[in-house]
Amino acid sequence: MNIAVLALQGAFAEHRQMLQRMGVDSFEVRQASDWCRPKDGLIIPGGESTVQLKLLCDLDLLEPVREAIAGGLPVFGTCAGLILLAKQVEGEAHMRISTMDIVVRRNAYGRQSGSFFVKDRFAGKPIPMTFIRAPYIYKVGDGVEVLAEVGGKIVAAREGSQLVTAFHPELTSDATVHSYFMQLVKRAL
């Protein structure tokens, strides 16, 4: 199994380290030629979604990535990745990857002073969750399963083989969410 990690900007190295600890191979996608490599799943890391979107467009990656996800490639987006995958971001009309039926509020906890750490349940299991200038999901479509809520806000969800978290499991040593994603990848094989 080989997982593509979008490495345009942000905390992609942390995702690769987590996969490495789990014994899963991965590679970085920095341009269209990297995208051509065979892959069983895609991780879109935290960072700034505006930067990642701009680079996806400039590097001619947006359409190929969108098509692959629409075609069933399992994808896991954290924070900025969640924003890129959302069909709708409050107050914004432009397209992103926009493949997941969720409505998202950007910088929903405010600026860096609103960033926080909490232990809460993901798919029933308590795990550490780090929120950095995080978004949250305030509406999900019919086909979307809510996997985590913190303080009444949806912070993790799944639709088919698309998994998103508003928090950063790659910043902790807990592999629960990544293992969950690898289950989705195995199911899609």
Reply yes or no on whether 170 is catalytic: yes
Of 31 and 176, which CB lies nearer to another protein in the complex structure? 31
SS3 41: strand
Reply yes or no on whether 36 is catalytic: no
Q: Please state, in angstroms and rounded to a whole number, the distance separating the CA atoms of residues 182 and 30.
A: 22
Of 3 and 89, which CB lies nearer to another protein in the complex structure? 89
Smallest gap from residue 107 Cβ to another protein (A)? 6
Smallest gap from residue 76 Cβ to another protein (A)? 17
Catalytic residue among 15, 159, 168, 178: 168
Of 159 and 167, which CB lies nearer to another protein in the complex structure? 167
Query: Rounded to an integer, what is the distance from CA 93 to the centroid of its chain?
Result: 20
Reply yes or no on whether 168 is catalytic: yes
Residues lying near another protein in the complex (CB under 8 A) are found at: 7-14, 30-31, 46-48, 50-51, 54-55, 58-59, 79-80, 106-107, 110-113, 115-120, 130, 132-133, 150-151, 168, 171
Contact assessment for residue 35 and residue 8, using Cβ atoms and an 8 Å cutoff = no
Catalytic residue among 14, 15, 79, 178: 79
Q: Over the range 138-158, which residues count as b (16 or more CB within 10 Å of their CB) and which as e?
A: eebeeebeebbbbeebbbbbb
- Going by C-alpha positions, the residue among 118, 114, 112 that lies closest to residue 156 is 118
Q: Which residues are catalytic?
A: 79, 168, 170
